[in-house]
C-alpha cells in the first residue's frame, strides 16, 4: 500500500485511492485496432490503428495542468459542479477510486450523496469504446442533478490538427440525430469514415460547438454550459466540434440509473455516403447504438474483455513463487505492458505524442520477444510487415507508419543493429510455435516493390549485412547508431537544429560497435540452431563459422582489461574504455558480449558482470548506462553527451538494458544477483512513489540515476523495450521456462533460499504444470526432471505426442 494506491492482485487491478498522483498514471485500453489512453482522472484520447493519422479525440501534450483532456463526465448538483474523476474541475470529492484493470478503467467518485461510476473499455474486435455509467443516490433524500458528457474531437491527422488552424477552424462538420452526435469533418470529400459519440439513454440536450459548451474564455474546469446547468443544442460549423450530452436525473434515496456512452470509429465501406445532400447515411452508426442500448450486451462485452485477458494470461502463470513483486509483474502487469508495446511500439503514451515515431524496426522486433506467446499469429504478421521495410542490401527503414506499413523516409536507415533483431524475433516465433512456414512466406524488399523474396532470404541478407560492413578492427560498423540511438559516432553536429540521429556521413566511416558484434553473436547462434532444427547442417556450419570468427574478433579487439570496450569512434579511438576520461564503461557491450557467449570460457563474462556491479549498479535504482557520465558535449560522440549527467542515455538508468544484465547473471548462475537486479528496476517494488513518480505497475524507460540530482525519479513509462525484455528475463531465465525449437527448456536461476515455485505454461497446445523444488538450496542446475512421473535425461521437455493436452512436470534443482 503506497500513499497513492495498492495492487488488488486477485482482481488483477491497480487501485488508485487519490486522484492527485505524482504524474498522471495511465492505463491502455484496446488490443485490436481501436485504442485508448486513459489516466486515473479519465484523461487521454482514442484513435484507430494509427495515433497520427486516425486520432479521434483531442489531447494537448505538455499541458499545464497536465492531462487536462479526456473522457469527462460533469455533475451539476445544485450550485456545485464536479467530476467523478476529480479533473478537470478538481472540486474536492467525498470519495474517489480508480481501478486500472486489464483493458479497462473504472473510476468512481462521490459527492454530497451522489456516486458516479464510469467504466471505460473497448470490446474485443470492435472499433469503439464504451463508458458504462452508473449514477447512484447514496443519500436519504431525493437528488436532482444534471450529468454532462464531454469529448473534444480531433480532425484525425493529429499533427495538422494541432498546427494548421487557418484550415482546421473552417472544416468542422457534425450531424445530430436523437442522442447521437456524428463528427463528420472531411467526410464530404475524401474521408469515408466518421466518429460517433452516442448515448444509450434519452438526452435532455447536447452541444457540438466548443465555444458554446466550454466558452472562449472559460476552461474545461468551468465550462459555460455546465456552469449554467444547460446545454445549448449547438451545431458546430467550423471551429472546434465537441461532443457533449446532458442528462437530467431525479433519483430517490437508494435509486440507481445505468446507461452508456459509445464512442465509435465508423468506416462507411460500400454503403452510400449520403441519404440526401449534407445528410450522411447513418445506418452503421444506428446499428452500433442499437446493439449497445441493451445493458446486458454491454455487460457481455465487458466480460469478453476480461475473459480474453484471462485466456491470454493463462498461457504463462506463476501461481506460487516466493517474491510477490515478481509474481504480480510476471502474472499480470508485465504481460499487459508487452501487449501495449506490441500494439503501440513507441507511438503513443504519456510521453510519446502519437505523431512522432510509428513502429520502430528494432523496437518492434524486440517487442515480439515478450509478446509472441500471447498471440503468435499476430506476431507472425508483424514480423513479415517489419521485414518488408528492409532494403535488398540489408539496410532497414528505422521506422514505419502502422497505417501504410511504409518506411518513414524522414529518418531513413543506417542504424546498423536493425537487421539483426529480425533474426531474434523470427527465432522466438518459431520456438514458440514450431511453424517453419513463416520462413517461406513471401516478403518483398522495400526497394523492390512486387518482388516476392522470402523471410529466410531477409534473414540471410541481415547476417550478410553485418559481415560485409565491418571496420578496421573487424567489428561491425555502427552507422548512425546501434541500439543506443544516442551514440552517434558519425554525427559531428555543431548545429542545434540538426537531428542527432540523421546527421553525418556514414558512407566511408570507420566507427565500429562492439554492441552489434555481441548482438551478431547472439543472432548467429540463434540462426545456427534454427538451421539445425530445419535439418540444414551445412547452413548451420556456415553460420557457426561466422560466429567463431566474430567471437575471435571480439575477444582479440574489444577486451579492455576488465570489461568489454563499447565502440571505436570515427578515428578508431576506443569508447567505453579505461583510457577514456568519461564514459569509461558502458552497459550494452557487457550485456551483449555476455549474452552472445563471449567470455564464457575465459572468465571475462564474469568479470564484465562484476564491472557492471562495481561501476554502474545501485540497488535502489538499477544500473546506469555508463560511468562516469559525460559532463561536456562531445562532438565525436553525439547525443549521448547531450543529456545532463544521470539522465537518459547519459548515465541514466535505462531500464531496457538492465534486463540484459539480469539475463547475464542467470547465465553466470548467480540467482541472488539476478533477482536483486530484477527488483532494482521493478516498478511495483519502489519504496517511495513521491520520489519515483511513475506508475507502479509498468516499467518506465528510464530512472534518474545516482549521478543526477534527482535519483530514483522514473520517466517515460509504458512504451519501452523493458516490457518485453523484462518478461523474457523473468519468465525464461530467472524462472527458466524457455521455449526451444524441440521442446520446453527448464533452466531456472533463483536465489538459493527459494524452496521452489510453480509455473503453468501453455506451449504448442499443451498445458504444462511445472513444479520446481529446491531442497538443497541451489541457484541453478536441474538434477532431475519427471515428465508425467517418468524421469528423463537433461532439462528439455520433449514435444508431447499429438493429442496430449496436459502434462505434469516435476523438477528438482541441485545438479
Ligand atoms: C529508445 C528507442 C530505442 C533505443 C533506445 C536507446 O527507447 O525507442 O530504439 O534503442 O531508446 O537509445
Ligand atoms: C532520443 C532519445 C532516445 C530515443 C531517440 C529516438 O534521442 O534519447 O532514447 O531512442 O530519441 O529518436
Pocket flag, ligand 1, residue 586 (CB < 6 Å): no
Pocket flag, ligand 1, residue 346 (CB < 6 Å): yes
Contact 398, 360 (CB under 8 A): yes
CA of 694 to the centre of ligand 2 (A): 19
CA of 485 to the centre of ligand 2 (A): 6
- How is residue 641 annotated by DSSP? G
Q: Is the peptide bond before 88 cis (omega within 30 degrees of 0)?
A: yes
CA of 541 to the centre of ligand 2 (A): 38
What are residue 310's DSSP bridge partners?
Answer: none
Pocket flag, ligand 2, residue 639 (CB < 6 Å): yes
Pocket flag, ligand 2, residue 486 (CB < 6 Å): yes
The cell for 592 is: 551483449
Query: Burial level of 618, CB count in 10 A (0-12/13-18/19+)?
Result: middle
Pocket flag, ligand 2, residue 641 (CB < 6 Å): no
What is the pairing mode between strands 617-618 and 766-773? unpaired
Please tell me the distance from the alpha carbon of residue 97 to that of residue 82, in angstroms, as a whole number: 15
Which amino acid residue places its CA nearest to atom 7 of ligand 1?
Answer: 720
CA of 485 to the centre of ligand 1 (A): 6
Pocket flag, ligand 1, residue 715 (CB < 6 Å): no
Three-state SS letters, 21-67: CCCCCEEEECCCCEEEEEECCCECCEEECCCCCCEEECCCCCCCCCC
Alpha-carbon distances, residue 724 vs 319, 326, 362, 606 (angstroms): 20, 15, 12, 25
Pocket flag, ligand 1, residue 483 (CB < 6 Å): yes
- Specify the ligand 1 atom closest to the Cα of 481: 12
CA of 500 to the centre of ligand 1 (A): 13
Pocket flag, ligand 1, residue 701 (CB < 6 Å): yes
| Positions marked catalytic | 485
pLDDT of residue 114: 98
User: Cα–Cα–Cα angle for 481, 487, 490, nearest 5°?
Assistant: 65
- Specify the ligand 1 atom closest to the Cα of 486: 12
Handedness of CA 273, 277, 278, 280 (dihedral sign): negative
- Specify the ligand 2 atom closest to the Cα of 649: 8
Pocket flag, ligand 1, residue 362 (CB < 6 Å): yes
Kindly provide the residue ranges of all beta strands, DSSP E only, lying in 185-309, ordered along the sequence.
193-199, 205-209, 241-251, 256-267, 274-276, 279-280
Contact 109, 65 (CB under 8 A): no
- Specify the ligand 1 atom closest to the Cα of 363: 9
Contact 242, 200 (CB under 8 A): no
Pocket flag, ligand 2, residue 362 (CB < 6 Å): no
pLDDT of residue 1: 61
88-128 pLDDT tens trace: 999 999 999 999 999 999 999 999 999 999 999 999 999 99
CA of 11 to the centre of ligand 1 (A): 33
Contact 249, 144 (CB under 8 A): yes
Question: What is the best residue among 364, 501, 655 to mutate for testing ligand 2's pocket, by most ligand atoms within 8 Å of CB?
Answer: 501
- Specify the ligand 2 atom closest to the Cα of 485: 10
520-577 pLDDT tens trace: 999 999 999 999 999 999 999 999 999 999 999 999 999 999 999 999 999 999 999 9
Residue partners of 170: CB distance under 8 A and separation at least 6: 238
Which amino acid residue places its CA nearest to atom 10 of ligand 1?
Answer: 483
What are residue 259's DSSP bridge partners?
Answer: 133
- Specify the ligand 2 atom closest to the Cα of 501: 12
pLDDT of residue 404: 85
Question: What is the best residue among 480, 656, 718, 719 to mutate for testing ligand 1's pocket, by most ligand atoms within 8 Å of CB?
Answer: 656
44-93 pLDDT tens trace: 999 999 999 999 999 999 999 999 999 999 999 999 999 999 999 999 99
What are residue 776's DSSP bridge partners?
Answer: none
Name the helix (H) or strand (E) containing 8.
Answer: strand 5-8
Which amino acid residue places its CA nearest to atom 11 of ligand 1?
Answer: 485
CA of 137 to the centre of ligand 2 (A): 50
What residues in the chain have per-residue pLDDT under 50? none
Alpha helices, H only, 437-499: 455-468
Which amino acid residue places its CA nearest to atom 3 of ligand 2?
Answer: 485
Which amino acid residue places its CA nearest to atom 6 of ligand 1?
Answer: 484
Please tell me the distance from the alpha carbon of residue 604 to that of residue 564, in angstroms, as a whole number: 9
- Specify the ligand 1 atom closest to the Cα of 360: 9
Question: What is the best residue among 721, 722, 724 to mutate for testing ligand 1's pocket, by most ligand atoms within 8 Å of CB?
Answer: 721
Which amino acid residue places its CA nearest to atom 10 of ligand 2?
Answer: 485
Amino acid at each position: 500500500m503506497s500513499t497513492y494506491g495498492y495492487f488488488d492482485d486477485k482482481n488483477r487491478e491497480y487501485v488508485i485511492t487519490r486522484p492527485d498522483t505524482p504524474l498522471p498514471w495511465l492505463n491502455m485500453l484496446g488490443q485490436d485496432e481501436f485504442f485508448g489512453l486513459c489516466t486515473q482522472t479519465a484523461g487521454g484520447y482514442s484513435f484507430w490503428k494509427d495515433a497520427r493519422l486516425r486520432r479521434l479525440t483531442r489531447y494537448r501534450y505538455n499541458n499545464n495542468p497536465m492531462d487536462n483532456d479526456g473522457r469527462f463526465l460533469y455533475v451539476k448538483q445544485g450550485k456545485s459542479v464536479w467530476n467523478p474523476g476529480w479533473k478537470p474541475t478538481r472540486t474536492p470529492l467525498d470519495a474517489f477510486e480508480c481501478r486500472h484493470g486489464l483493458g479497462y478503467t473504472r473510476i468512481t467518485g462521490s459527492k454530497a450523496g451522489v456516486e458516479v461510476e464510469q467504466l471505460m473499455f473497448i470490446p474485443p474486435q470492435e472499433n469503439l469504446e464504451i463508458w458504462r455509467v452508473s449514477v447512484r443516490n447514496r443519500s436519504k433524500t431525493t437528488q436532482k442533478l444534471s450529468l454532462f458528457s464531454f469529448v473534444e474531437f480531433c480532425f484525425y491527422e493529429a499533427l495538422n490538427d494541432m498546427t494548421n488552424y487557418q484550415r482546421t477552424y473552417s472544416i468542422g462538420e457534425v450531424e445530430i440525430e436523437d442522442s447521437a452526435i456524428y463528427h463528420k469533418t472531411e467526410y464530404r470529400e475524401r474521408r469515408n469514415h466518421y466518429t460517433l459519440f452516442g448515448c444509450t439513454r434519452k438526452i435532455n440536450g447536447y452541444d457540438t460547438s466548443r465555444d458554446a459548451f466550454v466558452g472562449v474564455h472559460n476552461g474545461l474546469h468551468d465550462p459555460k454550459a455546465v456552469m449554467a446547468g444547460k446545454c445549448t443544442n449547438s451545431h458546430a460549423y467550423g471551429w472546434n466540434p465537441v461532443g457533449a450530452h446532458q442528462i437530467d436525473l431525479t433519483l430517490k434515496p437508494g435509486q440507481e440509473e445505468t446507461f452508456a456512452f459509445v464512442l465509435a470509429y465508423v468506416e462507411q465501406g460500400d454503403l452510400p455516403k449520403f441519404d440526401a445532400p449534407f445528410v450522411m447515411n447513418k445506418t452503421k452508426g444506428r446499428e452500433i447504438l442499437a446493439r449497445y442500448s441493451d445493458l446486458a450486451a454491454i455487460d457481455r462485452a465487458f466480460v469478453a474483455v476480461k475473459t480474453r485477458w484471462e485466456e491470454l494470461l493463462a498461457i504463462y502463470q506463476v501461481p506460487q513463487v516466493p517474491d510477490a513483486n515478481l509474481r504480480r509483474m510476471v502474472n499480470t502487469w508485465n504481460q499487459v505492458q508487452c501487449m501495449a508495446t506490441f500494439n503501440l511500439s513507441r507511438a503513443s503514451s504519456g510521453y510519446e505524442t502519437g505523431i512522432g515515431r510509428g513502429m520502430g524496426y528494432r523496437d518492434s522486433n524486440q517487442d515480439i520477444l515478450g509478446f509472441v506467446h500471447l498471440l503468435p499469429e499476430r506476431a507472425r504478421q508483424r514480423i513479415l510487415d517489419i521485414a518488408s521495410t528492409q532494403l535488398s542490401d540489408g539496410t532497414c527503414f528505422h521506422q514505419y507508419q502502422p497505417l501504410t506499413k511504409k518506411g518513414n523516409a524522414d529518418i531513413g536507415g543506417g542504424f546498423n543493429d536493425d537487421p539483426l533483431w529480425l533474426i531474434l524475433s523470427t527465432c522466438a516465433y518459431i520456438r514458440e510455435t514450431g511453424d517453419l512456414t513463416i520462413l517461406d512466406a513471401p516478403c518483398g524488399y522495400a526497394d523492390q516493390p512486387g518482388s516476392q523474396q522470402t523471410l529466410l532470404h531477409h534473414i540471410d541478407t541481415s547476417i550478410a549485412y553485418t559481415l560485409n560492413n565491418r571496420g578496421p578492427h573487424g567489428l561491425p560498423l555502427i552507422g548512425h547508431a546501434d541500439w543506443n540511438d544516442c551514440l552517434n559516432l558519425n554525427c559531428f553536429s555543431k548545429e542545434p537544429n540538426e537531428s542527432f540521429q540523421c546527421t553525418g556521413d556514414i558512407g566511408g566511416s570507420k566507427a565500429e560497435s562492439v554492441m552489434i558484434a555481441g548482438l551478431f553473436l547472439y543472432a548467429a547462434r540463434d540462426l545456427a540452431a534454427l538451421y539445425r532444427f530445419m535439418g540444414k547442417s551445412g547452413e548451420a556450419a556456415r553460420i557457426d563459422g561466422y560466429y567463431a570468427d566474430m567471437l575471435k574478433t571480439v575477444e582479440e579487439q574489444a577486451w579492455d582489461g576488465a570489461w568489454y570496450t563499447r565502440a571505436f569512434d570515427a578515428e578508431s579511438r576506443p569508447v567505453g574504455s579505461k583510457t577514456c576520461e568519461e564514459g569509461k564503461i558502458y552497459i550494452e557491450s557487457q550485456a551483449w558480449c555476455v549474452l552472445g557467449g563471449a567470455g564464457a570460457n575465459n572468465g571475462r563474462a564474469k568479470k564484465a558482470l562484476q564491472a557492471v556491479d562495481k561501476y554502474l549498479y545501485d540497488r535502489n535504482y538499477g544500473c546506469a548506462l555508463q560511468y562516469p557520465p559525460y559532463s561536456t558535449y562531445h562532438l565525436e560522440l553525439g547525443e549521448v553527451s547531450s543529456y545532463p549527467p544521470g539522465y537518459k542515455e547519459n548515465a541514466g538508468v535505462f531500464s531496457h538494458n538492465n534486463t540484459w544484465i539480469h539475463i547475464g547473471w542467470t547465465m553466470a548462475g548467480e540467482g541472488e544477483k539476478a533477482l536483486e537486479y530484477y527488483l532494482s528496476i521493478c516498478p511495483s517494488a519502489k519504496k517511495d512513489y513521491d520520489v519515483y513518480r511513475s506508475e507502479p505497475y509498468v516499467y518506465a524507460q528510464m530512472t534518474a540515476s545516482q549521478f543526477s540530482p534527482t535519483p530514483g525519479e522514473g520517466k517515460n513509462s509504458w512504451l519501452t523495450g523493458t516490457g518485453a525484455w523484462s518478461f523474457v528475463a523473468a519468465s525464461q531465465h530467472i524462472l527458466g521456462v524457455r521455449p526451444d525449437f524441440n521442446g520446453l527448456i527448464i533452466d531456472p536461476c533463483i536465489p538459493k533460499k527459494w524452496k521452489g515455485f510453480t509455473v503453468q505454461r501453455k506451449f504448442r497446445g499443451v498445458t504444462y504444470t511445472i513444479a520446481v523444488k529446491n531442497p538443497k538450496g541451489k541457484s541453478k542446475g536441474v538434477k532431475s526432471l519427471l515428465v508425467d512421473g517418468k524421469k528423463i535425461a537433461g532439462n528439455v521437455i520433449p514435444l508431447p505426442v499429438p493429442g496430449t493436452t496436459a502434462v505434469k512436470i516435476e523438477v528438482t534443482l541441485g545438479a
